[in-house]
Amino acid sequence: MRFADDISLLAEQTEGLQKALTAVTQTSRKIGMKLNIQKTECKFLGAGSKKFHLEVDGQELEQTENFVYMGGKISTQDGSDKHVERRIALERVTWQALGKIWSSKDFSIPQRYACTWHWY
């Protein structure tokens, strides 16, 4: 997955992940970019905690238990459940506020649509 300057590589096995990481490193280098090792982390997603070794240009990557991707916290223990729960709670608050607007007799239907459109 890629978003702006964030890239997430996923693989079934460590070897596949190392191969993908090497390919990204080499391709980036060809276009004049370089991976920042200090900002690059690896993590095992799944049951338990597995230690593995990945490297870029001979430098081992830090293995972490949690990381943030596009504003969402991903955890070895909790997966993305906490992030999903947080997003649902935020949406619930939004819909409650919009519900008050939609049920209000103070606004015309076009005004209600406009409020909804601008809210998002």
Q: Could you tell me the pTM of the whole model?
A: 0.55
Q: Where are the beta strands (DSSP E) in 6-89?
A: 6-7, 41-42, 55-56, 59-60, 62-63, 66-69, 72-75
pLDDT tens digit string along 68-115? 666 677 776 666 677 777 777 878 888 787 788 888 888 888 887 777
